[in-house]
A = this chain, B = another copy of it.
């Protein structure tokens, strides 16, 4: 088995390249945006990752032929990458898996940012998984807060209080998103029932009303 570890970074790259072929430098900027923009990813991470994906046959660089149609022509030396068939397959596969690897702290943001390429069912599974994870955390925090009370100083206490509040807010955020997705899901099923098309693999997309 060659697949072994997934790596958030590789998934993020695959996800971005699915929309638009890009070269590393630009990819980095989009990646940083996608990941909330703090914690700027370094080239020392990005280029080796591109290399790995390229070696694995998931992406290819459009070497010296086929200049990007819309953009500033000329300027070689840029390696514009795009997904191969294998890459698309792997991406699609990775996007439908849920499990802890989807809703853990390090992965959730990337998975969320790629929701547009998924269907409502997957989105709901991931959002609910994340919600459950955070609810567990909340439980732990509240329990240990009750246990440690008085044994820690003001500042540690304040830090815990603030941490708790942040998690609570994130849960509330998720609740809102879950509601929205459920509505979208209902609308989707209604649509599918009405039209005779049994529905392909195309993403649900839609929901123009945020």
Which of A's residues lie within 8 Å of B, judged by CB? Answer: 33-34, 36-39, 105, 109, 112-116, 137, 140-141, 144, 148, 152-156, 158-160, 162-163, 166, 169, 173, 177, 207, 210
Does B112 lie within 8 Å of A155, measured CB to CB?
Answer: yes
How many Å lie between the Cα of A162 and that of B112 in the bound state?
12
Minimal beta-carbon separation of A11 from chain B (angstroms): 15
- A115 surroundings in chain B (CB, below 8 A): 155
Does A207 lie within 8 Å of B154, measured CB to CB?
Answer: yes
Task: Decide: A37 near B153, CB < 8 A? Known: A112-B159, A159-B112, A169-B169.
Answer: no
Task: Decide: A34 near B156, CB < 8 A? Known: A166-B166, A169-B169.
Answer: yes
How many Å lie between the Cα of A161 and that of B105 in the bound state?
18
Does A144 lie within 8 Å of B37, measured CB to CB?
Answer: yes
How many Å lie between the Cα of A41 and that of B113 in the bound state?
28
Query: Which of A105, A141, A156, A177 has most chain B Cβ within 10 Å?
Result: A156
How many Å lie between the Cα of A210 and that of B161 in the bound state?
12
Minimal beta-carbon separation of A110 from chain B (angstroms): 10
In the complex, the chain B residue whose C-beta lies closest to that of A208 is B154
Does A137 lie within 8 Å of B38, measured CB to CB?
Answer: yes
- A37 surroundings in chain B (CB, below 8 A): 137, 140-141, 144, 160, 163
Minimal beta-carbon separation of A39 from chain B (angstroms): 8
